[in-house]
Amino acid sequence: MDRNLPSTFFLFLSLLLVGLTTSSCNGTKPADDPANAPVGSSNTLSAIGNLQTIQTVGLYEYPKLESEVVRVLPVGETLITTPEVSEDWVFIDRAGQATCEPWLRVQTKEKETGWVVAAAEDFEIPSSLVLSWQRNNRLRSLLPETSLQQLRGYQQAWERTDQSSVLLVAVRNALAIQDQLRTAVSALPCQPESNWLAPSWPGFVFQPQAPGELPLLWQDYGQCLARATQTKGDTDDRLFQLYCQIYPQDSIAYHYSAWQFPEPEGDVYSLLGRGIHLDLLTKADQLFAAEPFLEPELRQITKAIITDILDAPAGYWERRERIVEELEAICNARWRILEQPDLVLLHRRLKAFSKSDGSAIPTGLRLGRLES
């Protein structure tokens, strides 16, 4: 099979997803429940209509608190919303409830234009729509329109598609958007509540990074596998089964994979020597030969495994003899997914472990001491 197929086919399916999304969002049939409308869509905004203040609100010339106040809007003022949402966010603390929101560009009936903070408690919004209204404002502030379209495509593919390739492309897009979103959120001067994204990302869950840190979205491959069983073909099933083995504890992607052992103190050790690296490399290689479409994911997996073999900063949990045994099996196998530079580095690592002075590499740490 032509190895150019994955990239060209991926491009075709990405365009197909965007086309389906645009068609859905521009169709005449509205969402049954605006609160469940695709993120970034106009359904929630149209359900709310113009905004009406329920307490006094500052109308600012620019989306900054230091900007000039055009006018203090009284209770009952009607505002016409525009598509513009600021990139800047502002911290809000009212009655002990702290959050942060972007700004919305609005127009008054007197044709005054300016910016108001997108604080739901300032406007008359049905309680059933508050969360979706906030989510739409925040996502439109943080992501470009192309990413919003891909996110809508992911949601709709998750709900509707019966094609494994379409689901896989949608998941790829969602993971790329997840990375964009993490970068954007980390740059904010303040953080919204931790679970505001949850309804937008089927197949993901919130997991904390560390005690006291903001939880982030992580792929739940158990959910993905369950969804994949509903599509035609088993390409997506096989990939998500492999990911479930990489994250065996609960099938949720996280900082640590099956070939690593984290200690509470923060050190992360390689489990090379237990056969995990060889087993997962073998499965990735077999899948690579059978499903070229999965090349991006499989190369990412093999890169992570090889990186752990070549460089485990905290050291290796198993004894050197077991490490050498597994690494010899890896070096002596015939691989389709590993490239020549990978093999050269693996042979060098084996040689380093096999030397009589290999104690320079910390091994046997499960014994509570370095091997002599």
Together in a domain, 115 and 256: no
Which pTM was predicted? 0.80
Residue 172 counted as domain residue: no
Question: Would residue 168 count as lying in a domain?
Answer: no
For residues 253-271, average pLDDT: 90
- Tokens 């504890």, residue? 249
Using the predicted structure, report yes or no on whether residue 88 has a pLDDT greater than 60. yes
Task: Grade residue 34 by pLDDT with cuts at 50, 70 and 90.
Answer: very low
Q: Per DSSP, what are the bridge partners of residue 114?
A: 106
Q: What mean pLDDT is reported for the chain?
A: 84
pLDDT at 42 over 90: no
Q: How confident is the model over 341-354, as a mean pLDDT?
A: 94
pLDDT at 206: 80
The verdict on 246 and 332 lying in the same domain is: yes
Indicate whether 341 and 238 sit together in one domain. yes
Instruction: State whether 188 and 86 are in the same domain.
Output: no
- pLDDT over 50 (residue 356): yes
Alpha-helical segments (H) within 27-63: 43-48
What range does the domain containing 68 cover?
A: 43-142
The answer to whether residue 2 is domain-embedded is: no
End-to-end CA distance of the chain: 50
Lowest mean pLDDT among 67-81, 105-119, 203-217, 277-291: 203-217
Q: Is 98 in the same domain as 182?
A: no
Residue 14 is predicted with a pLDDT of 47
CA distance 114 to 367: 66
Q: Is residue 14 part of a domain?
A: no
- Residues 201, 26, 134, 48, CA torsion sign: negative
Does residue 36 sit within a domain?
no
CA atoms within 13 A on the CB side of 62: 7
Same domain, 199 and 128: no
* Contact of 52 with 76, CB cutoff 8 Å: yes
Confidence category of residue 8, pLDDT binned at 50, 70, 90 = very low
Q: 9-19: per-residue pLDDT in tens?
A: 444 444 444 44
Is 291 in the same domain as 354?
yes
pLDDT digits (tens, 9 = 90+) for 163-189: 999 999 999 999 999 889 888 888 888
Question: Is there a single domain that holds both residue 77 and residue 199?
Answer: no
| Domain C-terminal end among 85, 118, 142 | 142
Q: Is residue 3 part of a domain?
A: no
Within this chain, do residues 79 and 228 fall inside the same structural domain, yes or no? no
Residue where a domain stops, chosen among 123, 142, 161: 142
The span from the CA of 152 to the CA of 168, in Å, is 15
Say yes or no to pLDDT of 244 above 70.
yes
For residues 214 and 313, membership in a common domain is answered with: yes
Q: Are residues 202 and 342 in the same domain?
A: yes
Taking only the tens place, the pLDDT of each residue in 214-229 is 667 889 999 999 999 9
Question: Domain count of the chain?
Answer: 2
Q: What is the CATH number of the domain that holds 59?
A: 2.30.30.40
Would 152 be classed as within a structural domain? no
pLDDT(305) > 70 = yes
Report, as an integer, the average pLDDT of 332-353: 96
201 half-sphere exposure, CB direction, 13 A CA radius: 24
Question: Within a domain: residue 275?
Answer: yes
- Distance of alpha carbon 5 from its chain centroid, rounded? 25
**What pLDDT score does 240 carry?**
97
Asked whether residue 212 falls in the same domain as residue 337, the answer is yes
